[in-house]
Homo-oligomer: A and B are copies of this chain.
Amino acid sequence: MTDMRWGAWGVDADRTTLSDQVLELLRQGFGVTPGETSTASTEKVSLADSALSAAAVDAFRGEVGADQVRTDRDSRLLHVGGRSTVDLWRRRAGDAHQAPDAVILPGDHDQVLGVLRVAADRGVAVVPFGGGTSVVGGVEPERGDFDAVVALDLRRLNRLIELDEVSMIARIEPGLRGPEAEALLAEHGLTIGHFPQSFEYASIGGFAATRSAGQASSGYGRFDDLVVALRIATPRGSLDLGRAPASAAGPDLRQLFLGSEGALGVITEVTVRVRPAPAARHDEAWAFADFTTGAAAVRRLAQAEALATVTRLSDEAETAVNLAMGGDVGTAGPASGGCLLIAGHEGTAAQVEVARAVTATVLAEAGGRSLGTDAASGWRAGRYRAPYLRDALLDAGAQVETLETATSWSRLDHLYAAVRDALTESLTAAGTPPLVLCHISHAYPTGASLYFTVVAKAADDPIGQWTAAKQAAGDAIAAQGATITHHHAVGLDHRAWMVAEVGPLGLDVLRSVKAAVDPAGILNPGKLLPPPD
């Protein structure tokens, strides 16, 4: 498994550069001049000695083997956190004070149990680590009240344990990255159908632990919808949850561990629904007069249960930028003004044929104009490229980050305006007026998500600049009664709004669950749950 670069997304071979046209746009639009920041490197980073005692190292080695407890500098630095823009600014500044004291690589469920037992006995914080792609501080090695913290890297749990082609379910281990899991299933002509933007590096366990949603989730369902069963290791033992496709045997405990973000246990097996790999695909671009009209069309699709596998509607600003950038941010088409919608169908040839005809009828009735299939090809080609573009923009001296939320259809307009205004006001007040782009990334019969991309000139203190903007956006989301996160999860960055999300008694419930499975509190301290008042 190839590790990502320390201070940027993915690997060098896949990096992107900005065209002269884009650089000129940044200069004219934001006053950004290239060369103000430089790419991160580990060379200048100073790293404290590991705080893990020799006895603790020995105890962990007793559980997983001597080779699988690593305290070397490179291992520790590679587990210093996730891939939010703030994470990247920190690394560009050479800040790695949060590096874990060791990286532990268990080989199976029982070894995970053993590591958790040792950690609980010795008071060592444990941060489960999959692909390291969190954009909300979810894998930050916080030590809480403990003296030491270890990253529990799950990459060795990488098997397809069992494939049941009658029931169309696969039991897989959490350390498999998206492409690895898909490759194992492709040997049998199958797919999970889960393709978030982080797909190339994110892991199966991470998808489950964060309630991930992918670009094709309007067709295949969110990852949490696909999970049939979970195996979980906790400091107090194992949980095996999920005995049927559906059950009325009390509360659905799987739903406590989906989204548990490593704070309630370590997911060691995920049993997931699979489908035949699609024999046919059809991507089509559509133009709408404006975002409101386009959103109403998506709503009609969703409520007619005729959503395309991929259904994505950009607002006017995102549509214009995509056009100007020639597809750099993932979609492009010959729309002149208005809004671009991508409708991508997958399935058997017959399914695609039927479904795209239904979609076309609904979209045309709702005021859409087909731009054809060519105009949609840029979307598929660029679907995993945005994080590389972010690195290039940071290199060029821009601030760029995304955030997302969801609400019911009747409240979507207000939410859209409130978040856009909050971001614009905060960044303008900081002297760096932003461009705010938005798209509907996921649609449901009862509502939709909004995914915002923000671009501005980077301030001298880019972390403070973004933290203030994020606070303003999060407060606006909470005030609107929307969810603070539709698919990025909570981590550190959203925990302050969890009280708005579930109320004080909801937090008590979550804390009581944590106390039941992790009485010492060693599991991913500080994530998901805000500190008690």
Contacts and interface: CB of A to CB of B under 8 A. Distances in A.
Interface in A261-276: 261, 264, 273, 275
Interface stretch (A28-36, A37-45, A498-506): A498-506
A406 B247 contact: yes
Contact of A251 (B247, B248, B257): B257
A485 B408 CA distance: 32
Contacts of A251: 255-260, 264, 510, 513
Given A168-B445, A408-B244, A259 B250 contact: yes
Interface in A445-499: 445-449, 481-490, 494, 497-498
Interface stretch (A56-64, A96-104, A232-240, A330-338): A232-240
A528 B250 CA distance: 7
A407 interface: yes
Interface in A149-176: 164, 166-169
A228 to B, nearest CB: 6
B258 A488 contact: no
Contacts of A1: none
A167 B408 contact: yes
B210 A273 contact: no
A145 interface: no
A143 interface: no
A447 B245 CA distance: 6
Contact of A406 (B246, B257, B484, B489): B246
B503 A239 contact: yes
Copies in the complex: 2
A504 B239 CA distance: 8
Q: Is the interface of A mostly helix, strand, loop or mixed?
A: mixed
Contact of A212 (B224, B236, B248, B406): B248
A160 to B, nearest CB: 16
A222 B246 contact: yes
A508 interface: yes
B512 A243 contact: no
Given A246-B442, A406-B245, A409-B166, A505 B449 contact: no
Contact of A498 (B249, B446, B528): B249
Nearest to A222: B246
B168 A303 contact: yes
A211 interface: yes
Nearest to A477: B243
B252 A261 contact: no
22 contacts: A169-B446, A224-B252, A239-B503, A240-B503, A243-B407, A243-B501, A244-B406, A244-B483, A245-B446, A246-B442, A246-B444, A247-B501, A249-B501, A250-B501, A251-B510, A252-B255, A252-B258, A253-B506, A253-B509, A354-B354, A511-B516, A513-B513
9 shortest interchain CB distances as A-B pairs = A255-B255, A245-B444, A244-B483, A512-B516, A167-B408, A244-B406, A245-B447, A211-B248, A247-B483
